Amino acid sequence: MWLTGLVEQTARFPEGSVDPDASFDLLGIDSLMLRRLGVAMEARLGPQQTSQFYEHRTIRELAGKLAADYPEAFGSAPSQPLLGADIRLAQQGHTSAREDIAIIGMAGLFPGARDVDELWDKLLTGQDLVTSVPKERWDNERWYSKRPATPGRTNGKWGGFLEGVAEFAPLFFEISPREAEFLDPQERLFLQTTWHAMEDAALTPRMLRNSAEVDGEHRVGVFVGVTSGQYQLLGMEQWAKGNMVSPTSSYWSVANRVSYFLDLNGPSMTIDSACSSSLVALHEACENIHRGSRWWPSPVQ
């Protein structure tokens, strides 16, 4: 039972202890183990999509899916090949009819690194970018306690912190300084980083719009992955002090702000799917290019 045995090896279960009809959740298989299982399967079946483990919740269901996708790999009896012992490797892989998508510009802001190049340099030299809490964030000595669960205290004093989160040029982006104070830092930083990505691609807003003109319309889409926005909670603290201000954390505005500033007329979408938000947003962008949408009647090259 190849697939069952592979699960046992990956999760370090005793041989023969796994029921192929038990769900991955019941077996305690987490996302990290699923990723390792996918890598182990690549040796026989080629690259695997992690999403299939969530679409098919048991080993038997996944076996049926793989049997349909890789009939050449399992001899003449593909009905339940992955649950049996006779497995024959496929000699040819799957090919995609879709055309490639090129990434022509990239930018980023990371803990301990202000751009992508600096991040790679520090990763290559093995630098640890987790630090103690910077003084400009909060007074760690005031709130830290070695004893967990101490009321009003935290026993964590380390983290990955972005530098320059308050460095924003609102007038450059046609935003008043007063309005910028109330914008979620995620929105400000995303707008700023989008501009840096355009610079990296040697594009101006007009060039970007003209590069994707369809039927006289500039159809450029913005797809953003965002999660965990609590900036508006600061307003509650300020109201309690008599300062009536209203900071915002509107996810939709992160994408819409970019579309508005750059005058983009394509889809403008913010996606929150927790840890996979950025991945899902990237996937959605690629799918819109491939299949088109009501904004894009035909795929934009």
Q: Are strands 222-225 and 268-271 parallel, antiparallel or unpaired?
A: parallel
pLDDT band at 293 (very low <50, low <70, confident <90, very high): low
Q: What are the pLDDT digits (tens) for 163-187?
A: 988 889 999 999 999 899 889 999 9
Q: What mean pLDDT value characterizes the chain?
A: 82
pLDDT band at 75 (very low <50, low <70, confident <90, very high): low
Mean pLDDT value across residues 78-96:
37
> Which residues sit opposite 156 in a β-bridge?
none
| Domain annotation for the chain: domains and CATH numbers | 2-83 (1.10.1200.10), 112-161 (no CATH), 172-301 (3.40.47.10)
Mean pLDDT value across residues 70-79:
58
Give the lowest-confidence range in 140-144, 197-201, 206-210: 206-210
Please give the distance of CA 180 from its chain centroid, rounded to a whole number. Answer: 26
Report the pLDDT value the prediction gives residue 292, as an integer from 0 to 100: 65
> Which residues sit opposite 212 in a β-bridge?
none
Give the lowest-confidence range in 2-11, 74-83, 108-117, 155-164: 74-83
pLDDT at 83 over 80: no
Query: SS3 of 57, please?
Result: coil
105-144 exposure pattern, b = at least 16 Cβ within 10 A, e = fewer: eebebbebbebbeebeebeeeeeeeeeebeeeeeeeeeeb
Residues 115/196, Cβ–Cβ less than 8 Å: yes
pTM (2 d.p.): 0.64
Query: SS3 of 71, please?
Result: helix
Q: What are the pLDDT digits (tens) for 108-142?
A: 999 999 999 999 999 999 999 999 999 888 898 89
Structure tokens at 161: 């912190």
Which ranges constitute the DSSP H helices of the chain? 2-11, 31-45, 52-55, 59-69, 116-124, 140-143, 177-182, 185-200, 205-211, 233-240, 251-262, 277-291
> How many alpha carbons lie under 13 Å from residue 252 in its C-beta half-sphere?
1
Residues 269/222, Cβ–Cβ less than 8 Å: yes
